[in-house]
Structure 1
Amino acid sequence: MLDVQRPPVAGVHPAAEPMTFSGTVGLFTAAQGAVRPLAVLFASPWGLEEMCTRKFRRILAERLAEEGIASLRFDYPGTGDALDGTEFRAGMETWTESLLAAMRLLQERSGCAQLVIVAEGVGAVVAGLAADRLANLEGIAFLAPVVSGRAHVRELSVFSRLIEDKLGLKKRDTAAALEIAGLALPQEIEAGLRGVDLMKTDKAPARNVAVFMRDNHPEDAAFAAYVRTLGANVLEAPFEGFEKLTSNPTLAVVPEPVVANLVSWVAGLAPRDPALQAPPLHEWPASHYGDGYVETAVRIGEGGRMVGILCAPAEAHIPAGPAVLFLSSGYDRSTGWGRSTVEFARALAKEGTGSLRFDCANIADSPPVEGFAGQVLYDPVQVGDVREATDFLAEAGTKSVILAGRCSGAYLGLQAAVADERITGVVAVNPIVFRWHDGQSVDEALDNPLQTLEHYGRRFIEKETLLRVFRGEIDVVQKGRDVLGRLLVRAVRPLTRVFGGISRRERAVFSDFRMLRDRGVRVALLYGADEFGLEEFALFFGKDGRGLRRFGNMRLSIVPDTDHNFTPAHARAHYLDAIRSLASR
């Protein structure tokens, strides 16, 4: 059995304790100091909202722990890191039963009988359906709750079409009627949602209720008022910054006032008891078996500071190698955009190739490194995270490692390969740059992403673009500077290739690729046909890629009809095939 525990290290904040149960994965955060006689169970939202708020719930769990409150967060069947093959004929009961199983695990692991549910989005429906069967339920906090399932499904349908239209995506051929950002909601779950209305219950869901309400959502306040008429003690609080939290995983801003208010409310339900002590940490079952694969939830890095999932062929817990190390894009959790990394890992395991997917520090479920609590994307600190993940694989017996990532994950993969001789291959999807520009703000670049000149040309002649210019919604001066900068880069492209780089950054890029070539590291570059990253590629290798002739270890693939996230099925297939190709060698 693989040892998933990592020894504590002074000054290092360990990640939550991973465990498997009922075909899914949970993350348990132990109480600190004198404990309170209650524990918190998180009922998460679904889809893009779940991805955006993953870090938010991790921070809530950490703050609750500081107040002496243990907690558990977990994935519903068919979502996140849960095993494949779930039958959804029972509809919403499938998710409700998983919540009840999580409740029993949390009570056993924490030693606390009393329970508080923190239910966000569609989690409010799950918690509402399970409330009568939750033993010793002290309270429920509803965060931006789904009150009417039917109305929520309508909103999701509209949102789904908006995303598809904006990204130019075609609906995937799945058994789901509703899909957002590559995540499919099972038809049975959707049908169950349609039949739920929390305003039609005749009993308060709990004795104590908190409702965190969004601006311009009167149904939140109406629900709080209705629960009060049922006899519950109700706290009404604003959900400040909800839009900034849930619009984009990479741009999500955790609302500190909401964190503080919620933790204070939960702590107020039970005082600390100096006589109580948290149960000692021990190794809980962390492996479970799917069809042709086995997955083990692990803590990796110094002091177990990062969480991950090791996926191996069913007959072995340890991938001998080569193993694939998946790197997340932006602040997406390790399951990947549209759960693509989970799909890739399990497909590879069935073919005999193991993998590790994990969250770098300060991303999703991994706490930050001391001194790096802010922006970590495109920062060298992440190269250290990859090195420690590679160390973990090496300790497990893996002989060689292939890195795979998209966008910032692709950038990180290339940088980590340069820094670590154990890396034998890199699959880089849509890297925007090969080296970050000195002095350029990452936050500013994320808020105002650059586009290709062809993109600017098409958009400029569109009626909507002209209207936005007249309304002052577009900074024409800044966009003009962007265009001039792109034109200048294109003008000096030939000189860059002739002289092996003009700027220090360009010379460093060529040096990196020569080093990878000389070490025999195979590099697969995949781009969408209209990606801004192709501007960077053309700068170093020419628009037609002729410059790659000097780098026999590198291959270029252009994938048509895809978005930046490689959401369509055919784009995912190209990505997986590129990984297979490197792993098979």
Structure 2
Amino acid sequence: MTPVTFDGCFGWLHRPAGAQAEMGVVLCNPFGYEALCTYHGWREFAEALAARGMPTLRFDYPGTGDSSGHEEDPQRLRAWLDSIKTAATWLRAETGVTRLSLCGLRLGATLAALAAEELGGVENLVLLMPVSSGKSYIRELEIQHQSWLSAQQALGLTPDAEAAETIGAHGFRLYPDSLEMLAKIDLEQGVQCPAQRVLLQDLNESARLKRLAAHYQAQGVQVDLQIFSEYSRFLLDPSYSETPGQAFDSALEWLGASAGTAAGTAVEMRGCAATARIEFAHGRETPVVFDGGRYAGVFCQPLRALEGAPAVLFVNTGGVHRVGDGRFTVLMARHLAAQGIASLRMDLSGLGDSLRRDEALTLDMAYARYAVADARAGVDWLVAKGHSKTVMFGVCTGAYVSLHTALAHPAVAGCASVNLPFFVWGGARTRPGAQHVASSVVYRRAMRNPRKWLRLLTGQANGRAIIAELTRRLCARITARVSTALERLFGQSTPGGSVRRIALELERKGVRTALMYGPLDEGLDELEIHFGPNGSQLGKLRNVSVKVVGKVDHALFSRAARDAVMAQFDAFLRESVLGARRETVAPNPRLHVAEVPQP
């Protein structure tokens, strides 16, 4: 597979080995958070198509993923449709295919169907869980957002309102002009024949699906219906999403892909053409493949570099690929470029587009064994590009990787860790469907609320899970205090003192380190266990600081949270890493970066 760019869009071309192929496939992403959840599975589907002789292109729509633009740019939905048509034209020209198939998931399936109607000449159309009614999808997004808001408010966090007249969920929004166009979409009302053959996969053969099938059949289309039974395990938190092998195999068979050629096929990642790049107002981005084709990333370079500034390395959050929740790392990288600072956002091994070291490894094992070594390779690449110093940045598990990479690599001059869940890797403490256990602050507040006691006593809250986690935290707190006392008395290291030694080593190395937390983040418990409330004991160190940032949720799903963290990182770079250096740079108001109050 090879990273490619065309017309401001970033994508990956999966070429088959062997003879010239006739059929090419364009994959059309779902919208927003669903695109993050399904990213790895979508890549595996593209690999399977290519292994069976079909050149396949997957790409990011304008204003999404690594492509150029912003979600608030005008007429995004129209731009997405046009980009699918451009992708089809580019695939034909690049690979020489003469036959075309479009395959989309959720809103991507809807866009694929509409683009096929406008394109004409599409042979196969694969619609996985298509959104047949735009109005219904808008309502679904609003329900998702309200559900998330309710969950945050139950914890005691009230996120700021999102932009007026926008609708979306989990860090992604649709704006008024796109909503107006989306509300008019009804696939059952289409008048153009989209393709010769259509495959519809859905949870069941609902009345809605049968009506859509009948509509296409009335236009002379050969239509087949299949059940997408693995949907609920695919559209899941990116850390737990499972590739729907049965659904994809059914689609491959329907497309007439030759069987038996994909087993054991090794995926090779190749570097891009020298002309592949994404241009934006204050810089340009280049897809990079490094360390012998193991890692994938995007290098963001400013048009006007700030002399003496370090580069920034962004690493993954959980199972999310390099763009980050809410596309945060893309926006931050381009914001930093406006200030003259270069950055690399990379995928750790087995995440996003980087290759797996071991197919048998779980996500937890990959982080525990390889993530820090992966990030060190990213720092090495930046050093080789002429950036002698690097600042690490990560959220949640990425915060852990950033902290330990700062300890391990001499070229790391600074580290910003946001919502660090733990200082020493102990594996994820939650699993799909598990009862979430909140910050201890939440439970201390809840003890004064009779309604919370009623929920606990009536079984509406999982008291056993809550008690088990709070007990673990109490034991950890006691262990940390005993370890401190023993080390002071006898001067010998103890296992419980390992976290304190991390902070002391960062101080000794002179690595400027900022630990940032939302006011109700669970990571504050770990911080308090080892360093007192809000990390008060770290105040004795010159190079390590703690900041509790209001309105910040754990995954930075709200725009206000992303703006606040971006502003805090700006201040950290300016005051701690750049030595209070203040340069006049071209602002980028479209990023809506909040101002940090000056002390």
Q: Tell me, yes or no, whether TM beats 0.5.
A: yes
Per-residue deviation, residues 162-191 of structure 1 (Å, max 9, x unmatched)? 222222454545365213222121221111
Cα separation, partners in 2 of 1:441 and 1:189, compared to 1, 3 Å: closer
- Please give the alpha-carbon distance, in whole angstroms, between the structure 1 residues aligned to 2:348 and 2:272: 24
Please state if 1:326 is matched with 2:314: yes
- Please give the alpha-carbon distance, in whole angstroms, between the structure 2 residues aligned to 1:388 and 1:330: 19
State the one-letter code of the partner of 1:306. Y
Alignment partner of 1:210 out of 193, 199, 203: 199
Q: Which residue of 2 aligns with 1:477?
A: 464
**Deviation for aligned residue 1:113:** 2.0
Please state if 1:513 is matched with 2:498: no
Alignment partner of 2:127 out of 120, 134, 142: 142
**Deviation for aligned residue 1:94:** 1.7
State the one-letter code of the partner of 2:301. A
Q: Which residue of 2 aligns with 1:199?
A: 188
**Deviation for aligned residue 1:499:** 3.8
Alignment partner of 2:172 out of 169, 180, 183: 183
Cα separation, partners in 2 of 1:150 and 1:41, compared to 1, 3 Å: same
Q: Which residue of 1 aligns with 2:116?
A: 131
Cα separation, partners in 2 of 1:538 and 1:264, compared to 1, 3 Å: same
Q: Which residue of 2 aligns with 1:390?
A: 379
CA contact (8 A) 2:304 2:340 kept: no
- Please give the alpha-carbon distance, in whole angstroms, between the structure 2 residues aligned to 1:325 and 1:110: 34
Q: How many residues align?
A: 558
**Deviation for aligned residue 1:364:** 2.4
Q: Which residue of 2 aligns with 1:4?
A: none
Helix, strand or coil for the counterpart of 2:87?
A: helix
CA contact (8 A) 2:14 2:46 kept: yes
Please state if 1:283 is matched with 2:273: yes
Alignment partner of 2:55 out of 54, 70, 73: 70
Q: Which residue of 2 aligns with 1:39?
A: 24
- Please give the alpha-carbon distance, in whole angstroms, between the structure 1 residues aligned to 2:457 and 2:353: 40
Q: Which residue of 2 aligns with 1:12?
A: none
State the one-letter code of the partner of 2:131. V
Helix, strand or coil for the counterpart of 1:137?
A: coil
Cα separation, partners in 2 of 1:79 and 1:462, compared to 1, 3 Å: farther
Alignment partner of 2:6 out of 9, 18, 21: 21
CA contact (8 A) 1:67 1:267 kept: no
Helix, strand or coil for the counterpart of 1:380?
A: helix
- Please give the alpha-carbon distance, in whole angstroms, between the structure 2 residues aligned to 1:343 and 1:384: 26
Cα separation, partners in 2 of 1:204 and 1:470, compared to 1, 3 Å: farther
- Please give the alpha-carbon distance, in whole angstroms, between the structure 2 residues aligned to 1:95 and 1:299: 27
- Please give the alpha-carbon distance, in whole angstroms, between the structure 1 residues aligned to 2:312 and 2:499: 24
Please state if 1:256 is matched with 2:245: yes
Helix, strand or coil for the counterpart of 1:347?
A: helix
Cα separation, partners in 2 of 1:484 and 1:100, compared to 1, 3 Å: same
Alignment partner of 1:356 out of 340, 344, 348: 344
Per-residue deviation, residues 479-523 of structure 1 (Å, max 9, x unmatched)? 322222223334445334334599954333223222222111111
Cα separation, partners in 2 of 1:154 and 1:446, compared to 1, 3 Å: closer
Helix, strand or coil for the counterpart of 1:196?
A: coil
Helix, strand or coil for the counterpart of 2:533?
A: coil
Q: Percent identity?
A: 27
CA contact (8 A) 1:383 1:412 kept: yes
Alignment partner of 2:86 out of 94, 101, 120: 101
Helix, strand or coil for the counterpart of 1:302?
A: coil
Cα separation, partners in 2 of 1:442 and 1:362, compared to 1, 3 Å: farther
**Deviation for aligned residue 1:231:** 2.2
CA contact (8 A) 1:37 1:270 kept: no
- Please give the alpha-carbon distance, in whole angstroms, between the structure 2 residues aligned to 1:101 and 1:315: 32
Q: Which residue of 2 aligns with 1:522?
A: 512
Per-residue deviation, residues 352-376 of structure 1 (Å, max 9, x unmatched)? 1111112222222333223454324
State the one-letter code of the partner of 1:483. L
Alignment partner of 1:404 out of 374, 379, 393: 393
Alignment partner of 1:584 out of 578, 583, 588: 578
Please state if 1:432 is matched with 2:421: yes
Alignment partner of 2:284 out of 276, 290, 294: 294
- Please give the alpha-carbon distance, in whole angstroms, between the structure 2 residues aligned to 1:281 and 1:220: 42
State the one-letter code of the partner of 2:310. P
CA contact (8 A) 2:71 2:173 kept: no
CA contact (8 A) 1:164 1:171 kept: no
In structure 1, runs of 5+ residues without a counterpart are 1-15, 273-279
Alignment partner of 2:530 out of 528, 531, 540: 540
Cα separation, partners in 2 of 1:404 and 1:271, compared to 1, 3 Å: closer
Cα separation, partners in 2 of 1:478 and 1:573, compared to 1, 3 Å: closer
Q: Which residue of 2 aligns with 1:11?
A: none
**Deviation for aligned residue 1:564:** 0.8
- Please give the alpha-carbon distance, in whole angstroms, between the structure 2 residues aligned to 1:397 and 1:449: 44
- Please give the alpha-carbon distance, in whole angstroms, between the structure 2 residues aligned to 1:90 and 1:433: 42
CA contact (8 A) 2:309 2:578 kept: no
Question: Could you state the TM-score of these two structures normalised by the residue count of structure 2?
Answer: 0.85
Please list every run of at least 4 consecutive aligned residues from structure 1 whose deviation after the TM superposition is greater than 6 angstroms: 269-272
Per-residue deviation, residues 80-126 of structure 1 (Å, max 9, x unmatched)? 22222688555633211111111111112222121111111111222
In structure 2, runs of 5+ residues without a counterpart are 262-269, 580-599
Q: Which residue of 2 aligns with 1:158?
A: 143
- Please give the alpha-carbon distance, in whole angstroms, between the structure 2 residues aligned to 1:285 and 1:100: 21
- Please give the alpha-carbon distance, in whole angstroms, between the structure 2 residues aligned to 1:504 and 1:371: 35
Cα separation, partners in 2 of 1:281 and 1:509, compared to 1, 3 Å: closer
Please state if 1:555 is matched with 2:545: yes
- Please give the alpha-carbon distance, in whole angstroms, between the structure 1 residues aligned to 2:62 and 2:483: 52
State the one-letter code of the partner of 2:578. S
Cα-Cα RMSD: 3.0
Pairing of 1:485-496 with structure 2 (within 5 A): 485-496=472-483
Alignment partner of 1:452 out of 432, 439, 443: 439
- Please give the alpha-carbon distance, in whole angstroms, between the structure 2 residues aligned to 1:465 and 1:67: 58
Deviates more, 1:416-425 or 1:397-406: 416-425
State the one-letter code of the partner of 2:230. G
**Deviation for aligned residue 1:136:** 3.9
Cα separation, partners in 2 of 1:584 and 1:135, compared to 1, 3 Å: farther
State the one-letter code of the partner of 1:452. S
**Deviation for aligned residue 1:154:** 1.7
Cα separation, partners in 2 of 1:35 and 1:234, compared to 1, 3 Å: farther
- Please give the alpha-carbon distance, in whole angstroms, between the structure 1 residues aligned to 2:316 and 2:211: 39
Per-residue deviation, residues 326-378 of structure 1 (Å, max 9, x unmatched)? 11211112111111111111111001111111222222233322345432453
CA contact (8 A) 1:176 1:184 kept: no
State the one-letter code of the partner of 1:387. R
- Please give the alpha-carbon distance, in whole angstroms, between the structure 1 residues aligned to 2:255 and 2:308: 46
**Deviation for aligned residue 1:552:** 1.9
Cα separation, partners in 2 of 1:466 and 1:209, compared to 1, 3 Å: farther
Q: Which residue of 2 aligns with 1:56?
A: 41
Q: Which residue of 1 aligns with 2:357?
A: 369
State the one-letter code of the partner of 2:413. T
CA contact (8 A) 1:427 1:578 kept: no
- Please give the alpha-carbon distance, in whole angstroms, between the structure 2 residues aligned to 1:146 and 1:218: 14
Deviates more, 1:131-140 or 1:322-331: 131-140
Deviates more, 1:286-295 or 1:456-465: 456-465
Cα separation, partners in 2 of 1:175 and 1:441, compared to 1, 3 Å: closer
